[in-house]
Structures are given as structure tokens and as C-alpha cells.
A and B are shown apart, each in its own frame.
Chain A
């Protein structure tokens, strides 16, 4: 069993899983943010080569975190989840986000340009969201709601979350202005919905495989 602890975000208890201690104590921690409908894996995936400690956060309604009653999810709430982790953890981290977790990683990095030393956006569920413009409205509720995880309302609402490229680029701009890293963001996803395309085409954003992004951030020093 990996050690799990809970942190609080308003009325939600969020599960933080300490997946692995660092081999190299001088390398900062890697935070894993899972994709839509996923949860923190039970062990560090073998393809992730990171010399430091690895932790994972289960978003609201996912994994071992609280499943709220009646839905009401937005990506902004999940950024609040990541913020709660960063406030609690205090130390610098690099973030690897899959799908929806990649979107949240970018926003959380923009909110904490000093604490987040690089964020990698990887393929995963929920990467596209609901597109660049609100879609047609469908008011449906999951027919069976067991209260279990993942919350079907999360799957429903966060797959419709709108991500206009111009809006997203503002946050890349914050990172470019406020981070001392030359490349504060790294796009590794093969899938390129409009918001990812806009991010990948922005100055200060690297592109390549996940391993390349992680190697880049493992080598950058902490901020002065």
C-alpha cells in the first residue's frame, strides 16, 4: 500500500498519494495529475523516468477523493484542487498532467510560476474538453449514480468544458512573463485540440516526447 493522505479544498477531501521517495534528494518532486475519469496510478508508471520523489493527486470526484452530491464540476475547481496541493506541499514541483490533468497543470503552473518548475502536457482522457465554443445544451443526469468514483457528473461536465485558444494563451503569457524558466511549459501530446495547438505554437513552450520534457525539467535548477 502506498501512503495516502488527505488535504482539504473547501468541502472536498483530496487524496494525495506518495508514490515514491526520491532516488536523488536534490531533484524536486514530480506531481502527477491524472486524466478525466482516471485516478493516481498505484505505482509510478515504468515509462516515467524521474529521479526525484513522485506524488499523485486525485481530483474532486475521482479516486479516493470526495465525490460531491449533484455535480457542478468545472476545470477551475480542479485548478483549485491543484492549488490546495501546492499550498499544502510548499516545495517546488514539476507537474506531469495527462489529458484534463494537462490542462489543469498549465493553469496551475500559471497561478504558481515560481513553485511549479515546468509542466508537461501529455495525452490522456479529457484533453480536448468541450471545444473552443459552448456546444448545444443537453440537460441529462446520469441514470445510475452510486456515489462511487469516478463521479459520472465529472465525466459529463468536464468533457464539455470550453477551452478557447485565445483564453488559454493568456496563461502561457503569464508563465512566459513570470517564470524564470526559458521553457516553462512542454507539450508532449500527439493529440492537438485547438487549445493545445495554440499552446504548442506559443513562445516559451517546448515540444517532444514526455521523457524529453521530464529530462529538461529534472535538469533545471530551483529559482534563485
Chain B
């Protein structure tokens, strides 16, 4: 799709401080091909980095190089259905955990820090419990779901909410066959993404298009599987994730942004503190939202590197 006055790929890809992975490889998890990205020297100590839902490893193109400069071999992967990994017939939390374990198994047999953002932070908190022999420290960035909005509303309102979740989810399932993402220009895709990421700069959003979308004859399309959907219906409760924390025996650092926004959990330090294991701590980055590692990459990288020293 031509857009004579719009942003070109060369302009969009020139984001200050962004560096594509030094190495790319594939890991197969139960038959599912996962795209693995690495930054840093191959013989440096490994660090696992997990992205959030509807993100992809390219969203770490500024943050991950900073960690690599600190002396780490940063290993991240596109979760199934995200980025350059395979689209699958089914998606589930259990499957994501197994995929994460397959990536960990591909990085030798030593323990390493697990770092994750949002859904990725939640994933690595679960992996910390599932693979205690492989983790040396946990950094959870905005991946600490708290009790959320449901605790303050009436029983009647909660029931209406669950009913709507059920109806919306089934309506979504019925709409999936042959579903494709809508094509557009770099600027249009960036604008759409901006609705999910209202605090992100237009330049960053346009950069994401160049690494998270594919261009074809009729325009750019996000690579993420169009059959995926934020949320769904089911019994999952946010506090089940916080219950992963007390059992973790390695050092734990939680990082939150002070600014609440739609993609985040609205979690405050006081929500997390009761669940922190001994010695665990929680830090807040003032003036940053859910994508704190994008808004303040230097600050979050320094916090992480200092914690891992």
C-alpha cells in the first residue's frame, strides 16, 4: 500500500538506541517452532527475557541491548502466535509455560536470571516455581496481577461481567475462520497500536511496525495471530499469580510504573508486598506506565543490572 506522504520503512526503522538481535535461532517446543532472539556475547552468562501478551521480542530492541552491554547474553523468544513464532491451533497458559521451558532447555543447563514484562513477568514467576533448578534471580516488570477491578463491584455486577465475558468470547470464537489482520501503512498500524499503548511515542510505535509487522502488496499487517484475543472467560483469578511469589527462593525484584493505564493491572506496591518472599523487594519508577522498560529503558536496565550484580 503506497503512502507517498507517510513514514518510510527507513525512517521508521531508525529509532535511537534500537538494535536488532545479534543472533536468531529456532527452538521447537512439542512441534511448535519458536523464534529465539539473542543479544550479547554468546559466551556471556545467560539471562532469560520474556515479553508481554501481544508484544514480541522486538519490543526489547532498546532494553535488551542495555542488559547485554552490562555483560549478559540476553535470550528471548516470541511466544507462540506472536512475532515470528508459529501460529498454533490452541493457546493456553500451560502451553506458554512449556514453550518457555523448551527455550530454557536450549540454553545449557546452568541457572540464570529470569526477567519478564507483563504477561512475561507472570510467566517467569510461574517458571521460577516449575524450574527452581534453572533460576538464579527473578525480575518481574509490571507482571504482578493484583485483585483488580472485580473486588470492588457488587455480586450482581460481577455476574453481568462474567456473562458478558462468556458471550463475547464465544462470539470471538465464531468469528475466527479465515480471519486476517487488517492491512495498512506504517503510520496506520502505529496509530492502531497506539490505542493499546497510549503513552508510547509515535516514533516508537512506527519502529515496532518495522519489526512486528510484515509488508505485502496491500500493506503492512501485524504478525500476531489474529485469532488471539486479550482476555477471555474462565476461572483464572489475578491473585493466583501473586501466590507464585512466596515460594521463590532466589532474589526477587518487582518493578512497577507509577502511572496506571489500560494495559496494566493497576497493581500497587502494597498489593504485592504481602506476597514477596524473604528479601524480595519492589521498586516503582515514577512517571512511567505499564511499558516502563520502553518509557524508561535506562532506569529499568540500571535497576536490573544493579540487582543482578
Residues of A within 8 A of B (CB): 8-12, 60, 66, 68-77, 79-80, 83-84, 87, 107, 110-111, 133-134, 136-139, 141, 145, 153, 157, 160, 162-164, 167, 170-171, 173-174
Contact = CB atoms under 8 A, between A and B. Distances in A.
Contacts of A69: 30-32, 88-89
A60 B90 contact: yes
15 contacts: A10-B176, A69-B31, A70-B30, A71-B94, A72-B80, A83-B174, A87-B174, A110-B166, A134-B243, A137-B97, A137-B130, A162-B236, A163-B235, A173-B159, A174-B163
A76 B233 contact: yes
Contacts of B233: 76
Given A8-B177, A12-B89, A111-B166, A153 B101 contact: no
Contacts of B29: 70
Given A80-B169, A83-B173, 14 more contacts: A60-B90, A68-B88, A68-B89, A69-B32, A70-B90, A72-B89, A74-B90, A107-B166, A111-B170, A134-B240, A139-B98, A141-B98, A164-B235, A173-B159
B167 interface: yes
Given A60-B90, A137-B126, A167-B235, A70 B95 contact: yes
Interface string B245-281: 0000000000000000000000000000000000000
B232 interface: yes
B94 A111 contact: no
Given A10-B173, A134-B240, A137-B126, A72 B95 contact: yes
B235 A111 contact: no
Interface string B197-217: 000000000000000000000
A110 B159 CA distance: 12
Contacts of A160: 94
Interface in B99-157: 99, 101, 126, 129-131
B30 to A, nearest CB: 4
A54 B173 CA distance: 26
B5 interface: no
A11 B131 contact: no
A8 B178 CA distance: 11
Given A76-B232, A173-B159, A139 B97 contact: yes
Contact of A83 (B92, B95, B170, B234): B170
Contacts of B173: 9-10, 80, 83-84
Nearest to B171: A83
A66 B170 contact: no
A145 B32 CA distance: 13
A84 B240 CA distance: 30
Contact of B92 (A72, A107, A111): A72
A71 B92 contact: yes
A70 B97 contact: no
Nearest to A147: B31
Contacts of B237: 164
Contact of A139 (B80, B131, B236, B243): B131
Contacts of B90: 60, 68, 70-74, 77
Given A137-B130, A139-B131, A72 B91 contact: yes
Contact of B31 (A8, A70, A138): A70
Nearest to B232: A76
Contacts of B98: 71, 139, 141
B185 interface: no
Contacts of B1: none
B170 A139 contact: no
A120 B262 CA distance: 41
Interface string B213-233: 000000000000001000011
A138 B97 CA distance: 10
Contacts of B158: 170
Contacts of B31: 69-70, 145
A71 B174 contact: no
A84 B173 CA distance: 9
Contacts of B89: 10-12, 60, 66, 68-69, 72
A60 B29 CA distance: 20
A37 to B, nearest CB: 17
A139 B100 CA distance: 10
B114 to A, nearest CB: 14
Nearest to B129: A137
Nearest to B92: A72
A76 B243 CA distance: 23
B162 interface: yes
